[in-house]
Amino acid sequence: MRLNVRIKAFINNNPGLFDTYYDRIRPKSDLVPFLRPSNRLRDFLEEEKRIYEENEELVVSKLCKLLMMSRYKVISVDKLVHVKREFGFPNDFLVNLVPKYSNYFRLTGTPGEGQSFLELVEWNPEFAKSVIEQKAEEESRLTGIRVRPNFNYKLPAGFFLRKEMREWVRDWLELDYISPYEDVSHLDQASREMEKRTVGVFHELLSLSLLKRVPVPILGKFTDEYRFSNAFSSVFTRHSGIFYMSLKGGIETAMLREAYKDDRLIDKDPLLEMKDKFVELLEGGWLERAELWKLRREQVKKDMEMMAITNAELSEQ
């Protein structure tokens, strides 16, 4: 299975996921251990299925949006599988979801690494609205005043820009917002307008992700599809009022600054409910393991005390 951990160690460290039982491979062979999903894991898998069914339209829209932002409206299947956890796609999305929505998706190419592609069949105008445009529309509806779509630019506390940089940011923000779903084949790759569009694509990608953050190496896999420059990661430090670059765990991760208050995610993706429930499942097993170890320690302590009492009585005799 190419696991980078011993199965026995994994099971011991995560009790509650599997049950171990003994059976024979052949009628007269010795008993050997087998694994099966625990009832709690089965319950979680049913809950996961429910959550995906309730949010199927959200998953479909995310997949469409990724394709709609791409240059040729097609992305390698391998790349999409690689980012399924970042965007909350189910493990079987290529097998079940894609064929079910054949009006949106079409698989092309041949089986094999880097040779299969997912292609957009139909352009849905409702999906072609970025998070920034949706917020501007909602604010316009509430205030009755036309709100111009633009980025929420907020520097962290204690962070100041030099005058020249402040003026550059001000002028850059004054440029018209360019939707990540807009055709920009006419723009010069080195132009300020193209940079504004690139920032818009990153903003939209992070907004679509579950945790509003994605490792930079993963974003780099889509350089060709989204027309990123080779030095695309400098965007996150140059626009520090929009993004935050985390180096936690030694991995560069781009985060959407407006999505967090301190370290807390403000607007949670509905699909994160699955992660919360899986954490509950793991923590329940860890708690049971801790209680079992506590009882074992107490029993060992009692046994040692009884042994000491017995030895003392024998010595007195």
Residues composing the chain: 317
Residue 67: name the closest of 110, 100, 105, 115 by CA: 105
Query: Distance between alpha carbon 266 and the CA centroid of its chain, in Å?
Result: 15
| DSSP summary character for residue 119 | E
Torsion of CA 295, 297, 301, 302, to 10 degrees: 20
Residue 102 to residue 110: CA distance in whole angstroms: 18
User: Is the Cβ–Cβ distance between 204 and 131 less than 8 Å?
Assistant: yes
Of 10-24, 29-43, 87-101, 217-231, the least confident: 10-24
Measured N-to-C along each axis, helices 192-208 and 163-174 cross at an angle, to the nearest 10 degrees, of: 80
Q: Which long-range contacts (CB under 8 A, 24 or more apart) does 21-26 make?
A: none
Residue 2: pLDDT band (50, 70, 90) is low
Sorted by sequence, the CB contacts under 8 Å of residue 59 that are 6+ apart come out as 52, 88, 89, 90, 93, 97, 271
DSSP state of 23: E
C-alpha to C-alpha distance for 113 and 277, rounded to whole angstroms? 33
Residue 200 structure tokens: 């818009």
Identity of the residue numbered 129: K
Q: Is 232 helix (H, G, I), strand (E, B) or coil?
A: coil
Whole-number pLDDT of residue 301: 87
- C-alpha–C-alpha distance, residues 258 and 272, integer Å: 18
Q: What confidence tier does 136 reach under pLDDT thresholds 50, 70, 90?
A: very high
User: Residue 112 — pLDDT band, cuts 50, 70, 90?
Assistant: low
Summarised one tens digit per residue, pLDDT across range 21-63 is 898 888 888 898 888 998 999 998 999 999 999 999 999 999 9
CA distances (Å), 278 to each of 14, 53, 139, 201, 205, in order? 12, 17, 36, 31, 25
The pLDDT assigned to 220 comes to 93
Tell me how far apart the alpha carbons of residues 204 and 259 are, in angstroms, rounded to a whole number. Answer: 12
Helix (H) or strand (E) holding 121: none
pTM: predicted TM-score of the whole model, two decimal places: 0.84
Please check the confidence at residue 1 and state whether its pLDDT lies above 60. no
Mean pLDDT of the chain: 89
Distance of CA 184 to CAs 150, 170, 252, 257, 275, Å?
Answer: 18, 23, 28, 26, 37
Coil, strand or helix at 188: coil
What pLDDT sits at residue 287? 84
What pLDDT is recorded for position 317? 63
In the numeric block, the tokens 């979680």 are attached to 44
- The C-alpha atoms of residue 171 and residue 165 are separated, in whole angstroms, by 10
Q: How far apart are CA 88 and CA 83, in angstroms?
A: 8
| Structural element, H or E, at residue 191 | none
3-state SS assignment for residue 241: coil
Percent of the chain topping pLDDT 90: 52
Least confident of 92-106, 147-161, 230-244: 147-161
Task: Tell me the C-alpha distance between 184 and 194, whole Å.
Answer: 8
Amino acid symbol at 56: E
Which of 15-19, 101-105, 286-290: highest mean pLDDT?
Answer: 101-105
